[in-house]
Amino acid sequence: MRIDVQPKKMDSLLPTDILFQTTYWGQVKSNLGWEPLAFDFLSEEGQYGDVLVLKRPLGQGVAAAYIPQGPETGPDSDKYGIFLEALSQSLIRHMDSDVAFIRYDLPWESPYAADMMQGESWPGCISPQLQELRMNIGTKTWNLRKAAIDFTVADALIVDIARTEEDILSTMKPKCRYNIRLSQRKGVHVSIASPNQLPSFYDLYLQTARRNGFLECSDRCFAELFSTRTTHPESPEILFLLAADGSDIVAGAIIAVSGQRAIFLFGASSNEKRNLMGSYAVHWEAIKLAREKGCLTYDMGSVSPLPDPHHPFYGMHRFKTGFGGTIVHRSGSWDYLLDSQNYENIRNFELLSSALIPS
């Protein structure tokens, strides 16, 4: 397969509901020290699209090229590897020699999705070697490797909100409906917050990160979501919600409205007053606001692919599936190697530590 690639200006990226492939996201990451690059591509089979690439230095003269939830356009699953190889080989002609690998966080359906929907398996139970064997069939270089960590969302809970509020509530699990109403009875109030209140949210976020053991973002990452919009008014709308019990903030969320999709980006809840069910109140308010803004889906983000208590995202699965919806199984993160030695060093570091390249 051959794919022609042409560089272009970042502000000419095609409209998409995938937030992480927008001009806005490229600008956010640019302000945080990444180098955004944009390309058009056309395959010999007629597949056309564009892609946002984020280059990040990793130290000691080594860099990575990162493609968050892209490319949006892709082939049939039996040609995933062939397509990525051809695209990578065209992209590297436009990149510096310090790039050790290209990382794709693929939005494409996982080839194992049918098994997962039948409750038979999830990719974590399949060895990376077997996944790589399947991905590289038909390629010339066998250079595609399963990343040590899925950096965006391989498995996400999507709620259909193109329905009435009553219909949405009716498809929730009874306990979820109960907790939403309990928060209302307890006097929890959810409001749209000002970016000036980000420090309060960040305090809750740190509590949540330490409670659940996940990697913390800096407060600058949150602030940039809002400050970038002041210079790019055409950017996706960012909803900032806080749930309070009187003067005490008990939960919060940051949600992006990208086209007809609302995307839950960050959430936080206090270590105290957890009996008030503030997180349930926040998500229900987010769903209602997203409907008002014309969204058809509410992407609640990461869950375990199956209700497996041994999976690290099982807690999120239990909470989020209470809102109804469908789990979407994506293909996760894949690397195309350019510098094998430096790549192995980086991969070993990733396996021994927390995530190296955040979304």
pLDDT single digits (tens) 256-285: 999 999 999 999 999 899 899 999 999 999
The H or E element spanning position 265 is strand 261-269
Instruction: Indicate if 116 and 59 belong to the same structural domain.
Output: yes
3 neighbors 71 (Cβ within 8 angstroms): no
Residue 231 lies in a domain: yes
Same domain, 209 and 144: no
Kindly state whether residues 336 and 270 are assigned to the same domain: no
Instruction: Find out whether 192 and 202 touch, Cβ atoms under 8 Å.
Output: no
273 within a domain of the structure (yes/no):
yes
Q: Is residue 57 part of a domain?
A: yes
Round to whole Å and give the CA distance between 20 and 257. 12
| Domain at 204, CATH number | 3.40.630.30
pLDDT (tens digit, 0 to 9) for every residue of the chain, 359 residues total? Answer: 899 999 999 999 999 999 999 999 999 999 999 999 999 999 888 889 999 999 999 988 999 999 999 999 889 999 999 999 999 999 999 999 999 999 999 999 999 888 777 776 666 778 889 999 999 999 999 999 999 888 778 899 999 999 999 999 999 999 999 999 999 999 999 999 999 999 999 999 999 888 877 778 889 999 999 999 888 767 899 999 999 999 999 999 999 999 999 999 999 999 899 899 999 999 999 999 999 999 999 999 999 888 888 888 888 999 999 999 999 999 999 999 999 889 888 888 887 765 444 44
Judged by DSSP in three states, 246 sits in coil
Residue 315 counted as domain residue: no
306 within a domain of the structure (yes/no): no
Domain around 87: 3-154+330-352
Do the domain assignments include residue 16? yes
123 contacts 112 by C-beta, under 8 angstroms? yes
Are both 140 and 250 inside the same structural domain?
no
**192: three-class secondary structure by DSSP:** strand
| Same domain? 197 vs 143 | no
Helices within the chain (DSSP H only):
23-31, 80-91, 113-117, 128-136, 165-170, 174-185, 198-212, 219-231, 278-292, 314-320, 340-352
Q: Are 97 and 180 members of one domain?
A: no
Q: How many domains does the chain have?
A: 2
Total residue count of the chain as it appears in this document = 359
